[in-house]
Amino acid sequence: MTALYKQLTSAFPKLVFKQDEPLAPYTTVKIGGPAEVFCQVDTTKDLADLTIYAKQHALDITILGWGANTLIADRGIRGLVVKNTANAVAVLPSVPEGALSSRVVPRWDDTARQQHLPQKHVTHGEHVAVRVDAGTPLSYLINTLLQQNIVGLEWFARIPATLGGAIYNNIHGAHTFISDYIHSVEVVGEDGRIHTLPANKLAFAYDYSRFHHTNEVILSAILLLYKGNGTKALKQSIDWAKAKKHHPQNSLGCIFQNLSAQDQARLALPTPSVSYVIDQVLDLKGFTIGGARVSEKHAAFIENTANATADEYLAVIKHLQAVAREQSGVQLQPEIFFKGFTTDELAGVIHTDTYNTL
Ligand SMILES: Cc1cc2nc3c(=O)[nH]c(=O)nc-3n(C[C@H](O)[C@H](O)[C@H](O)COP(=O)(O)OP(=O)(O)OC[C@H]3O[C@@H](n4cnc5c(N)ncnc54)[C@H](O)[C@@H]3O)c2cc1C
């Protein structure tokens, strides 16, 4: 029995802790070694209490949502790993005061940006505010809201994620971002206290939020959504999900960010799509190391085809980056997160300081 396990079980006798729990099953790509100590929490209160305790006692703590964007090292993760499955969804009686005047205007209400929207956008009625736990799976959230004729999140259909993970990386679907719907987020701050942060303090950008650079833990968020026709919106979300059915599920989603406008112009490419670059420019579709393979269906995805290790998966990432650099002068920037790796193992892979190391 490790000292950490003993400490946590005696501090939280009602929670279930496991030692050396394999983490691969908690990820979409099914890769990764064990957690030193693991705990699944079903309520935001348990998540907050554990996080505050970890901060007060300087314990390493890692939060896992759906595990759809996280590559876990083969040696696993030291410290406490918390799988967040808290999933309360509550429609608020009214929109918080000042919420509409202080928000960033979303693109469907901004005439200059409307042309970038996909067709068949469901009509938005009056605003509705909804408080959602960070561990809520997006698919469950979308369906729960549509049953109550609350619309807006349809474009995120078929993205495997919890709301916390979606906010962390500001997910995108059909040219909309989750940040378009966020009013505020409740977090445990680095000071070990609970804070409410308004959306304009979250530094949202493409595949980015302030949470990349803080050790804050997201507990819940208030979303600003719309009344609308739930049946029509459900059809739209199903159609959209079908259009994405070629996305390989045994993966971590798109591994790299799309190209910058400068790189696209310099290489005279018809699209900034990183999938196009890997497939048409680098000719690396199907490239394989061990059980990790660049998908034949969508070249921006790396699949686990046969018990891939994290080392193999990382080796494919490094190979794609090296070939892109040598052949096209492009620096491919990962949009996934690495947990349990050393700084040396990730040298040259990440070009910001957004990763956790041992
Ligand atoms: C098949 C497939 C398709 C995908 N399609 C898309 C797509 O269309 N668009 C898109 O944007 N993404 C897509 N993704 C990527 C992925 O779904 C998103 O990045 C999603 O946000 C991951 O959420 P998660 O809950 O799985 O996060 P995790 O992988 O569990 O965690 C990701 C990061 O967030 C942190 N985190 C999670 N919860 C919290 C919390 N409560 N507080 C603080 N930190 C937290 C974790 O520590 C980690 O650093 C796809 C992935 C797959 C596998």
CA of 278 to the centre of ligand 1 (A): 22
CA of 119 to the centre of ligand 1 (A): 26
CA of 65 to the centre of ligand 1 (A): 7
CATH number at residue 169: 3.30.465.10
70 and 115 belong to one structural domain = no
**In the beta sheet, which residues pair with residue 128?**
225
How many domains would you assign to the chain? 3
Q: Which atom in ligand 1 lies closest to the alpha carbon of residue 64?
A: 30
Tokens 């969508």 sit at which residue?
298
SS3 15: coil
233 and 94 belong to one structural domain = yes
What is the reported pLDDT for 354? 38
CA of 66 to the centre of ligand 1 (A): 7
pTM: 0.94
What is the reported pLDDT for 70? 98
CA of 1 to the centre of ligand 1 (A): 32
Q: Contact, 162 vs 136, CB < 8 A?
A: yes
Residue 310: inside a domain: yes
CATH number at residue 292: 3.90.78.10
CATH number at residue 32: 3.30.43.10
Last residue of a domain, one of 190, 211, 243: 243
Cβ-based neighbour number of residue 100 at 10 Å: 12
CA of 170 to the centre of ligand 1 (A): 9
For residues 299-317, one letter each, b for 16 or more C-beta atoms within 10 angstroms of the residue's C-beta and e for the rest, the string is bbbbbbeeebbbbbbbebb
190 and 307 belong to one structural domain = no
273 and 206 belong to one structural domain = no
- Testing ligand 1's pocket by substitution, the residue of 26, 38, 69 carrying the most ligand atoms inside 8 A of its CB is 69
296 and 218 belong to one structural domain = no
SS3 308: coil
Last residue of a domain, one of 201, 217, 243: 243
Residue 125: inside a domain: yes
Atom 47, ligand 1: residue with shortest CA distance? 63
Residue 352: inside a domain: no
Q: Quick one: how far is CA 179 from the chain centroid?
A: 12
Residue 358: inside a domain: no
- pLDDT by residue for the chain (358 residues), tens only, comes to 899 999 999 999 999 999 999 999 999 999 999 999 999 999 999 999 999 999 999 999 999 999 999 999 999 999 999 999 999 999 999 988 878 776 666 655 665 555 555 555 677 889 999 999 999 999 999 999 999 999 999 999 999 999 999 999 999 888 789 999 999 999 999 999 999 999 999 999 988 999 999 999 999 999 999 999 999 999 988 988 888 888 899 999 999 999 999 999 999 999 999 999 999 999 999 999 999 999 999 999 999 999 999 999 999 999 999 999 999 999 999 999 999 999 999 999 986 543 333 2
CA of 326 to the centre of ligand 1 (A): 30
CA of 337 to the centre of ligand 1 (A): 9
Q: Which atom in ligand 1 lies closest to the alpha carbon of residue 187?
A: 42
Atom 11, ligand 1: residue with shortest CA distance? 171
112 and 164 belong to one structural domain = yes
What is the reported pLDDT for 119? 52
Range of the domain at 142: 89-243
Residue 2: inside a domain: no
96 and 218 belong to one structural domain = yes
As given in the structure block, the two tokens for residue 327 are: 């052949």
| Sign of the alpha-carbon dihedral angle for 246, 253, 81, 214 | negative
Distances 302 to 11, 275, 294, 306 between C-alpha atoms, Å: 41, 11, 4, 12
Q: Which atom in ligand 1 lies closest to the alpha carbon of residue 162?
A: 25
Nearest to 178 by CA among 122, 138, 229: 138
Residue 253: inside a domain: no
Q: Which atom in ligand 1 lies closest to the alpha carbon of residue 219?
A: 41
What kind and span of H or E run contains 142? helix 138-146
Residue 344: inside a domain: no
CA–CA–CA angle 300, 78, 67 (5° rounding): 30
183 and 228 belong to one structural domain = yes
What is the reported pLDDT for 353? 42
Atom 27, ligand 1: residue with shortest CA distance? 165
Q: Quick one: how far is CA 185 from the chain centroid?
A: 15
104 and 192 belong to one structural domain = yes
Residue 9: inside a domain: no
Last residue of a domain, one of 208, 243, 278: 243
Q: Which atom in ligand 1 lies closest to the alpha carbon of residue 247?
A: 1
Half-sphere exposure of 261 (CA within 13 A, CB side): 0
- Testing ligand 1's pocket by substitution, the residue of 26, 41, 46, 63 carrying the most ligand atoms inside 8 A of its CB is 63
238 and 100 belong to one structural domain = yes
CA of 169 to the centre of ligand 1 (A): 7
- Pocket residues: Cβ below 6 A from ligand 1: 28, 62-70, 84, 134, 159-162, 164-166, 168-169, 171-173, 211, 217-218, 247, 249, 251-253, 337
Q: Which atom in ligand 1 lies closest to the alpha carbon of residue 69?
A: 29
CA of 348 to the centre of ligand 1 (A): 22
SS3 96: coil
95 and 225 belong to one structural domain = yes
283 and 212 belong to one structural domain = no
